A and B are shown apart, each in its own frame.
Chain A
Amino acid sequence: MTTTRAAARAVTQTATRATTRPHPLRLLALRTWLPVVLIVWWWLASAGSRSLYFPPLSTILETLQHDWLGPGLTANLLPSLGKFLAGFLIAAACGIVFGLLIGMSRTLAAAVEPIVQFLRSLPPPVLLPIGILVFGIGAPMNIAIIAFGAVWPTLLNTIDGVRSLDSQVRDMSRSYRLTLGQRVRYIVVPNAGPQIFAGLRTTLQISIILIVVSEMVASVNGIGYYLLNSQQTFAVPQTWAGTLLLGALGYVANLLFLRIESRVLRWHSGMRAASGKDA
């Protein structure tokens, strides 16, 4: 009976939503007019610019194409992306595994709490000097900094997610005598899933910050190196181009992540829609 009621509610909700939602074309126009106006304004206002700091947008785009679509792609962009991915994946894996372990043992959680809280509160870039001392300058150091600096949001969210398990479900899994492996696989991980992904998204953002900063401070290639180098040599169009590229990369990485999240957590959004929590 509850299911039919929930279904009915879902139907009425979609119905009302359909009536209030503007026509797709109108929506598109509404969403695009401001960015288009801004870009056109930037283009026109900077077209004849002789200012050292604000070069014409056309010059910036030419630099972008010249520096990043040719040899720059393999020389600077790919190494950055590789280091970023490696660091992010290590941080994600460590965060989830240790988070599960700590979340499932109260003794362990109480024991590591102060240290985890301290390391979580540490602004990750201050680890850079230590990273340089221990690893020297190069890719291993960049990856280590990302892994160590970005792991905390995922770790803490995984711990919280594991702990948030409903006590009834916990009791039931005990009376069904699920083995530890089954409990983790079918109860603990799905229950913590949404929170793990929320943590992973923050880890992703911190990873992007750290790859840029670590390359600025200690690297001989990569986007961060290029960006800081062009700033220090007063190569203004290059600085603008690098900034635009980084913005675009951050945007794309976030978009990809959201795609993966909605894929993995499909069951969860379906459940929320059915129970009407997401209204």
Chain B
Amino acid sequence: MLELAIGIILGGCALGAGCAMIAGIGPGIGEGNAVAKACEAIGRQPESKGAVTSTMLMGCAIAETTGLYALVIAILLIFVAPNIFVKILLNAIG
């Protein structure tokens, strides 16, 4: 019975990590849009390449934040959460 409970905990953590990383879609689309617009801008005004590139990198880094929140949660679920949950379970059983 205990093995089954621990197995459910581990499986739930892995599934949760996978679901959390769905958030990677958002930054992907956003950064793709940003880079596309930057390419357009450089094509229109090649002399502004330096300013456009550095601004685009800044914007990409900020757009990436939501994806990284998801990544942090996924990493916590995979590496940290199982230990804590199993400990809680063992404490509850006594």
Say whether A associates with B: no
- What residues make up the interface of A, taking CB atoms closer than 8 Å to B? none
